Structure 1
Amino acid sequence: MKSFLSGMPELKLGLNDKIMMERRRKKRNTRAKSIEMDDIRFHQCVRLQSFESERLISFVPPDGEFELMNYRLDTKVRPLIWIECHRDIKSHSRVEYMIKAKSEFKKRSTANNVEILVPVPIDADSPKFKVSTGTAEYLPDTNCIRWNIKQFNGQKEYLMRAHFGLPSISAADAGQEDSEERAPIRIKFEIPYFTVSGIQVT
């Protein structure tokens, strides 16, 4: 959170009433469907008594940027954007990738500034790309493909194909470690007004 307010105003944020803190869940031993937040931590400016009694986060914001609250979810979360990667090595002379990205969130939501990073062999060269949307480029400094999608609507699916040449002597033959074998596919994105936990701020 970043405050641009002058003076010392008291602010109040309300959370949806499905939230149930860990200690209350254990005390009541209820199985009611709720958002179970563990290890909740507030900034020192928050009045804890207001949250415990009224579910209101009451605070006087300090100057500048600060973290108001953080928490942990002890539940399994389904990926919001599902990535499938198929790799095909052709006689040690070239490698082909087929990447499929599918959004698992609802149609009314949109993910912005999506960045998908796919690791490739350290000795790959001569990149060629074909994408159904967005742009793709090879980043030799980090040995990966970067696929950028400006806006990714809910319940959509996009494809990216990449072709690389490989040298006659592979990195493994030369005694070099291939970072592709240990690096995961990474993805970054933003969805306005969306939280995985289901928490709503009023």
Structure 2
Amino acid sequence: MISQVFILSSQGDHLIYKDFRGEAGSDVVNLFYEKVTALTGDQPPVVMRHKDVHFVHVRQGGLYWVATTTADTSPFTIIEFLNRLTALVKDYCGSLSERSVQMNFALIYELLDEVVDYGYIQTTSSDILKNFIQTEAVSSKPFSLFDLSNVGLFGAETQQSKVAPSSAATRPIQSSRDQGGKSEIFVDVIERMLVVIGSNGVLMKADIEGEIKVKCYMPTCSEMRIGLNEEFSIGKSQLRGYGAAVRVDECSFHQAVRLDEFDSLRILRLCPSQGEQTVMQYQLSDDLPSAPPFRLFPTIERDNGGRLLMYMKLRCDLPPKSAGINVSATIPVPKGSVSLSQELSSPDQSAELQPQSRAVVWKIPRFPGGTQLSALFKLEVPGFSSASMLEVGPVSLSFELPKITATGLQIRFLRLSPFQPGPAQRWVRFGMRTFDSDHEVGPGPSEDPVQDCFHWWIHCLLYLSQQDDVCWTESVCCLTS
């Protein structure tokens, strides 16, 4: 049973507040924000308590999504409700940004009225709610002249018209009254890789978690068939096919997915509902299909003046035609570090000392494959001692890699039912997300206090062309690592 639901910005601004039962006053909003900001560390606890009020929150889109309860309710139920609420808001508003929430506050209040009745959850299904929601979404996407760049002479199609913009999948779903929008399907292949490498170069830990998400903008349900690699295998069983093997340890599917063709042909069948849903999740541990894309060689010492010297050499082992972008290395430093001087190997790099997080952040906007960069950091640490050396590390590295998946998972084709009314636009697009800084890993067992702790979050978006059968271009082959 839920007493209140409210949404706060990262600065504590009140965006949405809904009181279902009147059991606690509105001052709990400020109380929650004070408790969150007073805590040390980057990630506050999901569940907190103040007297008889329990706070449960998730962080999505840079916002705090909070529910309160005074009853003996399972926190896992409320966490799942908040996650589904954020998915609903994203489906109906297009995004979870602060601007989108502010512009669609009336729509969000209407969603809360339909989803929760006197503290009891009624439904979180987009298909059911679209018949009752009357408020239209307000798009927060600004107009740009660059959107006209795909228009050629006399309206002729250009090469850029075959590429969907990055905001193509961040629009609201169609209501039951508005069927005039584009019929589109977006398939996301998202992989998160975590690799821990000791200072001696030995691989200590490797985990890959991936999922396939489908975002549907079709007004009516139509069967969709997604073809995966024929060599895709699950578990330690015998590998399939004659091509490059794609193996995972575990795999789970959405309840709506039909698997009658999966064992023999590796085809997923489903009738997607409007909005976003996770079709498949998979996991691979301690068996990397390829070597990590980056290697870090650190050297830590103390100079005659008592300063801490950190020499970092970073090598990119990607092919020469590939590149990592938005590369950021976070190096924990001793407590009390007051100043930083730096020597960087290229002018486009930057570095800064963040005293609150006790770390030096080294940023590289673009890192071509087959190259090497270096940096020398000199830190002034009052009261520096040999024990301070133990506070250095582990180093976490976050980056983005276009057109690559860690496991080599591919989408061979995506076909819609021939009974689909009207054409459905399908696009091919590749993108990437950076590592989520909330997922930090502490140092593992090592003789050296400095370790290489790599966090790899790869995000490939596959948007299908307008043809009935997908005609994959050469760029699709870049999915394999």
TM range (shorter): 0.7 to 0.9
Q: 1:197 and 1:121, CA in 2 relative to 1: closer, same or farther beyond 3 A?
A: same
Tell me how far 1:144 sits from its aligned partner: 0.9
2:248 paired residue among 23, 29, 37: 37
Distance 2:384 2:403 in 1: 50
| Structural mapping, 1:68-107, within 5 Å | 68-74=279-285, 75-76=287-288, 77-91=290-304, 93-107=306-320
Q: For each residue in 1:76-98, what CA deviation from the matched residue of structure 2 results, as whole angstroms up to 9, or x when unmatched?
A: 45221111111111257211111
SS in 2 for 1:105: coil
Question: Greater shift after overlay, 164-173 or 96-105?
Answer: 164-173
Whether contact under 8 Å (2:352, 2:360) holds in the other structure is: yes
Distance 2:357 2:374 in 1: 22
Q: What is aligned with 1:57? A: 268
Distance 1:153 1:47 in 2: 42
Question: Greater shift after overlay, 190-199 or 84-93?
Answer: 84-93
Q: For each residue in 1:113-132, what CA deviation from the matched residue of structure 2 results, as whole angstroms up to 9, or x when unmatched?
A: 11111111112121112222
Q: 1:93 and 1:185, CA in 2 relative to 1: closer, same or farther beyond 3 A?
A: same
Q: 1:193 and 1:43, CA in 2 relative to 1: closer, same or farther beyond 3 A?
A: farther
Whether contact under 8 Å (2:327, 2:400) holds in the other structure is: yes
Distance 1:14 1:142 in 2: 45
Unaligned 5+ residue runs, structure 1?
none
Tell me how far 1:163 sits from its aligned partner: 0.8
Q: What is aligned with 2:396? A: 186
1:158 aligns with 2:386: no
Q: 1:130 and 1:65, CA in 2 relative to 1: closer, same or farther beyond 3 A?
A: farther
Tell me how far 1:171 sits from its aligned partner: 9.8
Unaligned 5+ residue runs, structure 2?
1-212, 413-481
Whether contact under 8 Å (1:116, 1:148) holds in the other structure is: yes
1:48 aligns with 2:259: yes
Distance 2:349 2:216 in 1: 35
Q: TM-score, normalization: structure 2? A: 0.37
2:324 paired residue among 108, 111, 116: 111
Tell me how far 1:10 sits from its aligned partner: 3.1
Greater relative contact order: 1 or 2 (C-alpha under 8 angstroms, separation 6 or more)?
1
Q: 1:19 and 1:117, CA in 2 relative to 1: closer, same or farther beyond 3 A?
A: same
Identity of matched residues, %: 25
Amino acid of the structure 1 residue aligned with 2:215: S
Whether contact under 8 Å (2:216, 2:276) holds in the other structure is: no
Q: Whose strand fraction is larger, Structure 1's or Structure 2's?
A: 1
Question: Greater shift after overlay, 119-128 or 37-46?
Answer: 37-46
Distance 1:57 1:114 in 2: 35
Tell me how far 1:24 sits from its aligned partner: 4.4
Amino acid of the structure 2 residue aligned with 1:107: P
Tell me how far 1:12 sits from its aligned partner: 2.8
Q: What is aligned with 1:167? A: 382
Amino acid of the structure 2 residue aligned with 1:19: F
Whether contact under 8 Å (1:92, 1:166) holds in the other structure is: no
Q: What is aligned with 1:5? A: 217
1:126 aligns with 2:343: no
Q: 1:184 and 1:68, CA in 2 relative to 1: closer, same or farther beyond 3 A?
A: farther
Amino acid of the structure 2 residue aligned with 1:195: T
Distance 1:148 1:138 in 2: 12
Amino acid of the structure 2 residue aligned with 1:3: K
Q: Whose helix fraction is larger, Structure 1's or Structure 2's?
A: 2
Distance 2:384 2:398 in 1: 34
Tell me how far 1:59 sits from its aligned partner: 2.7
Amino acid of the structure 2 residue aligned with 1:5: Y
Tell me how far 1:4 sits from its aligned partner: 4.7
Q: What is aligned with 1:136? A: 351
1:199 aligns with 2:414: no
